[in-house]
Amino acid sequence: MNEYAEAAKEVATEEQVTFVDLYQMSKQYLGRQTQEEAESLSLAPKPGTKEPNEMALNQAVAALFGRIIADNVIRTEVELGPNVIGLPDGTGPAMPKQAAPTDGR
C-alpha cells in the first residue's frame, strides 16, 4: 500500500498541489488505538446483515478521517480555513499532523 501513497506524493509534488499523506497519518492514528478501538472503525454493515459493506464507511470513520484531511489541508492552504465547517473543539483525540510551511520551519 505504501507504494500507492508514495506515487500519489510524487504526482502532487510534480503538479505542485497540496498532498495530505492520509496513509501515514492513518497508521499513526491507528497505532495509538487499542484493538477494540481500531475495530470500531470498521466498515458499515450491509443493510439487514452483519456483513461489511465495502462501499459504505462507518459515519464515524468518515468524520474522523475527513477531520484529519481538513485539518492538514488548512495547515498548508490557510485561506481555506474559514470555509471548513465543524472546526475541531479540542475535546477529541489528538489528530495526526504532517509538516506544513505554516509551522514556521
Q: Could you tell me the residue ranges of all domains in the chain?
A: 2-103
pLDDT digits (tens, 9 = 90+) for 15-44: 998 898 988 888 888 888 888 887 777 666
Find all residues with CB under 8 Å of 32, minimum gap 6, and list them: 93
pLDDT for position 13: 92
pLDDT digits (tens, 9 = 90+) for 4-16: 989 999 999 999 9
pTM: 0.63
CA distances (Å), 54 to each of 21, 50, 57, in order? 22, 12, 7
Cα–Cα distance, 68 to 45 (Å, whole number): 24
Cα–Cα distance, 1 to 4 (Å, whole number): 6
Average pLDDT over residues 67-91: 77
pLDDT for position 89: 55
Contact 98, 74 (CB under 8 A): no
Identity of the highest mean pLDDT range in 10-19, 24-33, 63-72, 93-102: 10-19
SS (H, E, C) the chain: CHHHHHHHHHHHHHHCCCCCCHHHHHHHHHHCCCHHHHHCCCEEECCCCCCEEEEEECHHHHHHHHHHHHHHHHHHCHHHHHHCCCCCCCCCCCCCCCCCHHHCC
